[in-house]
Amino acid sequence: MTELNKIALKILSDGKGILAADESNGTMTKRLESVNITSTSENRLLFRETLFSSECMTECIGGVILYDETINQSSISEKKIPTLISDSGAVPGIKVDTGAKVLANSSEEKITEGLDGLRERLKEYYLLGARFTKWRGVYNISEKYPSKLAINSNAHALARYSALVQECGMVPIVEPEVLMDGDHSADDCLIKTSEVIQKCFDELITHKIDLTGIILKPNMILAGNKSKNKISNEEVSFKTLECLKKSVPIEVPGVAFLSGGQSEIEATENLNLINKNNNTNFIMTYSYGRALQQSALKFWSKNIKDVKGTQNVFNHRAKMNTLAAQGKWSSDLENK
């Protein structure tokens, strides 16, 4: 077993999942303003530190993806944030892309940037305690999109990023997110997501990536959010498994799904069914941002001094998802 494979398994095993707390300041500002909290550096830290000090960090959360601002901050107890996370038993990670920008010659699509100077930035993040990283490519679905240009260029960037991250001794999360925006069918999502993931692996292999030392972070297979033909959760699980079975090389240790705009319960229920029906060798777990934080953020915004209360809300969501990552969740557990 390589060191990278060990890190990946430490993050993903035993029903553990990932807390995606890597919202850039722009996104975090939207999240905080939606609950009437001013987005200052102190408030961003206060909310995040409340989550990172929760009880579920030991049993449920295997890794936390941080944003550049947070990895450089210290908690109230003066512990560095990566230390606070690793002391709980979870692995600190860092988002290293610098965002999705307009793709030249296909202006309705995006290319993720951040390769220039990445090797040097990675060394700094390693010294700060990070042992895994994240880079997200974004793709939209319509009749003509994602284009070959977007599929190829994002896959190429994900592979170059992964090579640099592994060179630096960290595990790259490879996140090709096919967005749920639009009126497309679940079958369109299945076809396009499969094409996107397959191209990512073609490039990862060309770039000689150790596939046992990566984590794939894909979307689930869903009908578009404006589609009139929604499918059942059971069908979501079957189509998601079909996509991954045919697109992901067997060396990959695990898949950690993004929630992508699903409600908290929907994201948990779908993950649970994926695990119940899992006919692959991949660990299937969560790497949720909104679906882990939404309720906790709402509670916190109204009870900013109630650290324990906020942590209880977060602990519950993390526990529910950890059960789902083992196919052991049921809706009646939500109210206990």
Active site residues: 217
The reply on whether position 20 binds ligand 5MM by CB under 6 A is: yes
Pick the stretch among 4-12, 184-192, 269-277, 285-293 that binds ligand 5MM (CB under 6 A).
285-293
64, 93 contact by CB (below 8 A): yes
For ligand 5MM, the closer CB: 101 or 148 = 101
63 or 260: whose CB is closer to ligand 5MM?
260
- Is residue 259 a contact residue for ligand 5MM (CB under 6 A)? yes
Is the alpha carbon torsion for 294, 298, 299, 304 positive or negative? positive
Determine, following the binding rule CB under 6 A, whether residue 225 of this chain makes contact with ligand 5MM.
no
Nearest CA to 68 out of 98, 89, 47 is that of 98
Nearest to 64 by CA among 117, 6, 129, 4: 129
| Per-residue interface string for the shown chain with ligand 5MM, residues 73-112, x marking contact by CB under 6 A | --------------------------x-------------
User: Does residue 52 interact with ligand 5MM by CB under 6 A?
Assistant: no
Q: Residue holding tokens 């991949």? A: 282
Q: Give the shortest CB-208-to-ligand 5MM separation in angstroms.
A: 26
Contact mark string toward ligand 5MM, 291..330, x via CB under 6 A? x---------------------------------------
Contact call for residue 260 and ligand 5MM (CB under 6 A): yes
Instruction: State the angle between helix axes of 118-127 and 148-167 in degrees (0 to 180), rounded to the nearest 10.
Output: 50
Which residue lies nearer to ligand 5MM by CB, 256 or 273? Answer: 256
Residues in CB range of 71: below 8 A, 6 or more apart: 81, 82, 92, 94, 125, 128, 129, 130
Q: How many residues bind ligand 5MM (CB under 6 A)?
A: 16
Rg (the chain; Cα; Å): 19
C-alpha 174/C-alpha 182 separation (Å) is 24
CB 32 within 8 A of CB 25: no
CA atoms within a 13 Å half-sphere pointing along the CA-CB vector of 106: 17
C-alpha 277 chain-centroid distance = 22
Q: Is 290 in the site for ligand 5MM (CB under 6 A)?
A: yes
Helix axes 290-302, 264-276, angle to 10 degrees: 150
Candidate residues 5, 13, 14, 27; the one interacting with ligand 5MM per rule CB under 6 A: 27
Binding residues for ligand 5MM (CB under 6 A):
20, 22-24, 27, 65, 99, 136, 177, 258-260, 288-291
